[in-house]
Chain A
Amino acid sequence: MIFNADEAHNIVKELGYAFRYCRSSSEDFVIESVLGKADYNHNKVNQWTAAIVEQSLTHLVKLGKTYKYIVTCAVMQRSGAGLHTASSCFWDTTTDGTCTVRWENRTMNCIVNVFAVAIIL
Chain B
Amino acid sequence: GCKFDAGQVQQVLEGALASALGTMVYSPQGSAPLAQSLAELLRSQAKEVVPPRYKLVCHVLLGQQGQQSLLVASRALWDPESDSFASATFSNTSLFAVATVHGVYFE
Residues on A lying within 8 angstroms of B by beta carbon are: 40, 42, 45-46, 49-50, 52-54, 57, 60-61, 68-92, 96, 98, 113, 115, 117, 119-121
Contacts and interface: CB of A to CB of B under 8 A. Distances in A.
B74 A83 contact: no
Q: What 7 pairs across the A-B complex have the smallest Cβ distances?
A: A81-B66, A49-B73, A79-B68, A88-B39, A86-B35, A72-B74, A81-B64
A75 B58 contact: no
A87 B60 contact: yes
B70 A73 contact: no
B13 interface: no
Interface string B1-38: 00000000000000000000000001010011011101
Interface string B40-73: 1011000100000001111111111111111111
A37 to B, nearest CB: 19
Contacts of A70: 57, 74-76, 78, 85, 102, 104
Contact of B40 (A61, A88, A113, A120): A88
Interface string B81-105: 0010100000000000010101010
